[in-house]
Amino acid sequence: MVSAAIYCRISRDGGGLGLGVIRQEELCRKLAAEKGWPVAEIYVDNDLSAYSGAPRPAYVRLLSDLQAGVVDAVLVVDQDRLTRYPRELEEFIVLADRLGVPLANVSGEID
């Protein structure tokens, strides 16, 4: 049985209300339901830029949980929510491939 993770991130949340990440979660939950993947964990880095180099605690926890087998599928609204750096995306995909973890985004599969 798949235990899916949803990762949400928005760079700037000017109002501090988390509306962007709430919408991302809604879209990912819909995709998870379409795929028949129960959602086990939600990882949210609100108001954190992937470009800034600032630590993204939820992203780090997601990587750790993937390696520990806590979750075994990942959903994002778009791959740029996961990371902005091609090298980091490649490292994530290599890890997912090694672990057999499917990756999906709302606009299509991540290759």
**pLDDT score for 85:** 82
- Summarised one tens digit per residue, pLDDT across range 76-103 is 998 888 887 888 889 999 999 999 999 9
The amino acid that residue 110 corresponds to is: I
Q: What are phi and psi of 85, to 5 degrees?
A: -100, 125
Tell me the C-alpha distance between 73 and 103, whole Å: 6
Residues 6+ apart with CB under 8 A from 103: 73, 74, 75, 76, 92, 93, 96, 109, 110
Tell me the C-alpha distance between 86 and 104, whole Å: 17
pTM of the prediction? 0.86
**pLDDT surpasses 80 at 111:** no
Does the domain at residues 4-109 carry the CATH identifier 3.40.50.970? Answer: no
- Summarised one tens digit per residue, pLDDT across range 24-76 is 999 999 999 999 999 999 999 877 666 667 788 999 999 999 999 999 999 99
Where exactly are the structural domains of the chain?
A: 4-109
pLDDT band at 17 (very low <50, low <70, confident <90, very high): very low
